[in-house]
Amino acid sequence: MANSEKKQWDSSQLRKYDFSLEQIPRLHYKDPKIDELIKQNLPVLITDSNIVKPAIEKWTLEYLERNLGSAGHTVYVSRNHKFKFYDDKKILNKNNPKGVEFSPPTKRAEMKVFEFMKRLREWKRGEKRVYLQQILNSTVGPAIVEDYMNFDWRYVGEKKNKHNWGELTSNLLFIGMEGNVTPCHYDEQQNFFRPNPRCILFAPDQFENLYPHPVHHPHDRQSMVDFDRPDYTKFPKFKNVKGYETIVEPGDVLYIPIYWWHHVESLMRGGPTITVNFWYKAGPTSLEYPLRDHQKVSIMRNVEKMLLEVLQDPKEVGPLLRAMVLGRYNE
Ligand SMILES: O=C(O)CCC(=O)C(=O)O
Ligand SMILES: [Fe+2]
């Protein structure tokens, strides 16, 4: 099928942002260049594969409602279109006196699938939005498990082995409402992602332009910049940010390299989206010089964690680093 026939969206369905974007390369799943890109920790959109074929062919809302099972599923509820991830373990409470004072931007709820689907179908403008994010595990029904077994594990296994990734940690199923956004963040895992929405990616060297929250903060790994209303006074370098984007069609799978930033968006007026990801642990790393940008991000994280650990007070980290660097390591 020609690309133009496949196109089921127009640019008015994309949220508008104030930065420049290039296209992520699209390559047929048998194209050997895919491995060259993965080897260099670069993203690639893999087309025409059978990686998640059973999901693409069968997973409609009705099918998932019938087969996801009767257990409660994890659903995030948000007042707006954004679902910014946070880590509960870093929030201040009586069991965690060292945590950060924080009011979560979304609520996590357990919902039966029919309850979730009802909210999704009956949603009207102005109401809270929902986003199901459930690990594919034994709580999902047998039909879904069977579909899962019929993913093309040979293909993903080959990529995993060839590129020396660690083990598969999880597959997450996302069922989102049109217009939902997962704001910009990076993960410490390799990701094969079958989204149908829009993905905007930034390379690890964009760290300074994207201003991640400090590592002890519940929003660790998330950008502090609100893409809808960037505060250029607080985050001036965000003006220099350069990204890549792609709109994933059915049958496409996106490789998001470890430490690459990603912003994921369901198209506006595009209907609900059903997505599945494959998270793989990082493989053993060999330090070859010059170091790669993503390895430097990992080093920064470790230094930051160590300082937090020994100083015991996040407020002391900045002054110590400034004293160490300013006038000494400026050039
Ligand atoms: O699909 C989404 O909304 C977010 C997915 C994501 O961040 C991931 O798979 O790492
Ligand atoms: Fe992610």
Reduce the secondary structure of 258-315 to three states and give it as a string: CCCEEEEECCCCCCCEEEEEEEECCCCCCCCCCCCHHHHHHHHHHHHHHHHHHHCCHH
Pocket test for ligand 1, best of 191, 247, 261 (most atoms within 8 A of CB): 191
315, 197: one domain:
no
What distance in angstroms lies between residue 180's CA and the mean position of ligand 2's atoms?
14
Whole-number pLDDT of residue 6: 61
323, 211: one domain:
no
242, 322: one domain:
no
Whole-number pLDDT of residue 249: 86
222, 151: one domain:
yes
CB 205 within 8 A of CB 297: no
What distance in angstroms lies between residue 69's CA and the mean position of ligand 1's atoms?
23
Whole-number pLDDT of residue 72: 94
Q: Are β-strands 242-247 and 181-186 bridged in parallel, bridged antiparallel, or unpaired?
A: unpaired
Whole-number pLDDT of residue 2: 45
CB-based contacts of 139-145 (< 8 A; 24+ apart in sequence) = 139/69, 139/71, 139/73, 140/67, 140/68, 140/69, 140/71, 140/173, 141/67, 141/68, 141/69, 142/67, 143/63, 143/66, 143/67, 144/64, 144/67, 144/68, 144/69
274, 248: one domain:
yes
Whether 2 is covered by a domain: the verdict is: no
Q: How far apart are CA 316 and CA 319, in angstroms?
A: 6
The number of folded domains in the chain is: 2
Q: Is the ipTM of this complex over 0.90?
A: yes
Whether 155 is covered by a domain: the verdict is: yes
81, 43: one domain:
yes
325 token code pair: 């660097």
Atom number, ligand 1, closest to the C-alpha of residue 181: 3
Cβ count near 65 (within 10 Å) = 17
Q: Which ligand is nearest to the CA of 277?
A: 1
Cβ < 6 A, ligand 1 pocket:
174, 182, 187, 191, 193, 195, 262, 264, 275, 277
Atom number, ligand 1, closest to the C-alpha of residue 187: 10
Tell me the residue range of the domain where 294 lies.
290-331
210, 294: one domain:
no
244, 295: one domain:
no
What distance in angstroms lies between residue 280's CA and the mean position of ligand 1's atoms?
14
CB 177 within 8 A of CB 266: yes
Nearest residue (by CA) to ligand 1, atom 1, is 264
Whole-number pLDDT of residue 285: 80
What distance in angstroms lies between residue 153's CA and the mean position of ligand 2's atoms?
21
Q: Which ligand is nearest to the CA of 274?
A: 1
CB 232 within 8 A of CB 223: no
Cβ count near 42 (within 10 Å) = 16
246 token code pair: 């792609």
The residue from 284, 302, 318 where one domain ends is 284
Whole-number pLDDT of residue 251: 87
Atom number, ligand 1, closest to the C-alpha of residue 83: 3
Atom number, ligand 1, closest to the C-alpha of residue 266: 3
Output the CA torsion 147→136→280→249 (10° steps): 60
280, 317: one domain:
no
Whether 3 is covered by a domain: the verdict is: no
Nearest residue (by CA) to ligand 1, atom 8, is 277
Pocket test for ligand 1, best of 168, 262, 279 (most atoms within 8 A of CB): 262
The DSSP element (H or E) to which 20 belongs, if any, is strand 20-23
Q: Which ligand is nearest to the CA of 279?
A: 1
Atom number, ligand 1, closest to the C-alpha of residue 262: 7
For residue 234, CA distances in Å to 118, 209, 240, 323, 328 come to: 41, 11, 14, 22, 25
CB 182 within 8 A of CB 64: no
pLDDT tens per residue across all 331 residues of the chain: 444 456 678 999 999 999 999 999 999 999 999 999 999 999 999 999 999 999 989 999 999 999 999 999 999 999 999 999 999 999 999 999 999 999 999 999 999 999 999 999 999 999 999 999 999 988 899 999 999 999 999 999 999 999 999 999 999 999 999 999 999 999 999 998 886 689 999 999 999 999 999 999 999 999 999 999 999 999 999 999 999 999 988 889 999 999 999 999 999 999 999 999 999 999 988 788 999 999 999 999 999 999 999 999 999 999 999 999 999 998 7
Atom number, ligand 1, closest to the C-alpha of residue 195: 1
Q: How far apart are CA 147 and CA 140, in angstroms?
A: 11
Whether 4 is covered by a domain: the verdict is: no
Pocket test for ligand 1, best of 187, 193, 255 (most atoms within 8 A of CB): 193
> What is the spatial order of strands in the sheet that 261-265 belongs to?
20-23, 242-247, 198-202, 261-265, 181-186
64, 17: one domain:
yes
